[in-house]
Amino acid sequence: MQSAHLGPLEVARIGLGAMGMSFGYTGAGSDDAEAIRAVHRAVDLGVTLIDTAEIYGPYTNEELVGRALQGRRDQVVVATKFGMVAHDGRGPWTPDSSPANIRLAVEGSLRRLRTDRIDLYYQHRVDPGTPIEDTVGALAELVEQGKIRHIGLSEAWRDTVRRAHAVHPIAALQSEYSLWTRDQEQILPLLRELGIGLVAYSPLGRGFLTGAIRGPQDVEALDDGDFRKDHPRFTGENLARNLRIADEVRAVADQVGATPAQVALAWLLAQGGDVVPIPGTRRADRVAENVAAADVQLDARQLAVLDGLTPAEGGHHTDAQMELIER
């Protein structure tokens, strides 16, 4: 596979998101053996960027990735995220990017990932209670100590990105970017000016763009704990309207002779060598399908059709989650 650059960090063109192996989606945690096979298949196919976070589980996803990477650690770029677990007793889902919390969080992530360094360590959400300069200052110390190699941010917006980058170079911004979530295009010029890569999370629209959801019955069939059951784009009238988008992607896929998932990923790859999608799957066969998107070529007409897809109805997160996202 070709490579891409996230600032100074070289990674393969397509990464792997591990979240859904343990957390968030239907089937999470039900088949760790297949999830580990999926990680191994990814590494065998040349994927290097493996993405997890402290809050996924919490903790169980990092543990799974640590187990899966035993004996393969040096072949990959391990990326994880801190800042959504407050280790002062307030616990999970409490934003805390204070230097004291980071110093505790990193030790737990290193232990669970069974490694002596994290290649890319992201702040998961901007913490309104901690100046970004303090957060990045603490991360810069971890770089000096060799505990982390590169610093990332997630769902931060322009002012925070500039301020953070002024303290220590930021390698990557990880934010939702896909055919149906396009607002990252407003920040890409700044990222390019500063030499920061864009890691595109939920590049398959949480599975929607693959055509897996054909109607309310498919959403009802998801596990009770599956986030998508409350997701604005997967529910009510929005869902009915959004189905058209999946049809439009499938029409291009049929033309290209690829799958809808591959078209969704190939479109992201066409946005630039500094855009790295991290599709998530628990299944080894889907890892292979997604990685093969690196060989799918879209012509100018197909790209134009994809650029002009029907816009999505509904926010890309629930209102409560949107409050943690900077815009």
Ligand X SMILES: NC(=O)c1ccc[n+]([C@@H]2O[C@H](COP(=O)([O-])OP(=O)(O)OC[C@H]3O[C@@H](n4cnc5c(N)ncnc54)[C@H](OP(=O)(O)O)[C@@H]3O)[C@@H](O)[C@H]2O)c1
- Provide the annotated active-site residues: 56
Site string for ligand X, 163-182 (x = CB under 6 A): -----------x--------
Sign of CA dihedral 19, 21, 22, 25: positive
Question: What CA–CA distance (Å, rounded) separates 81 from 18?
Answer: 12
- Can residue 290 be called a binding residue for ligand X (CB under 6 A)? yes
> Widest CA span of the chain, in angstroms?
54
- Can residue 84 be called a binding residue for ligand X (CB under 6 A)? no
Q: Please give the residues from 22 up to 41 whose contact with ligand X meets the rule CB under 6 A.
A: 25, 27
Residue nearest to ligand X (CB): 17
- In whole angstroms, the minimum distance from the beta carbon of 237 to ligand X comes to 22
Q: Taking Cα atoms as reference points, which of 124, 130, 86, 127 lies closest to residue 108?
A: 86
- Can residue 202 be called a binding residue for ligand X (CB under 6 A)? yes
Q: Of 144 and 230, which has the nearer Cβ to ligand X?
A: 230
Near ligand X by CB under 6 A: residue from 48, 160, 210, 242? 210
Taking CB under 6 A as the binding criterion, the range among 3-11, 98-106, 250-258, 282-290 that sits at the site for ligand X is: 282-290
Q: How many residues does the chain have?
A: 327
Q: What is the CA radius of gyration of the chain?
A: 19
Extract the runs of DSSP E, i.e. beta strands, from the chain: 3-6, 9-12, 16-17, 49-51, 77-82, 85-86, 91-92, 118-123, 148-154, 172-176, 197-201, 275-277
Question: What CA–CA distance (Å, rounded) separates 38 from 20?
Answer: 12
Site string for ligand X, 217-256 (x = CB under 6 A): ----------------------------------------
- Site for ligand X, rule CB under 6 A: 17-20, 25, 27, 51, 154-155, 174, 201-207, 210, 212, 261, 278-283, 286, 289-290
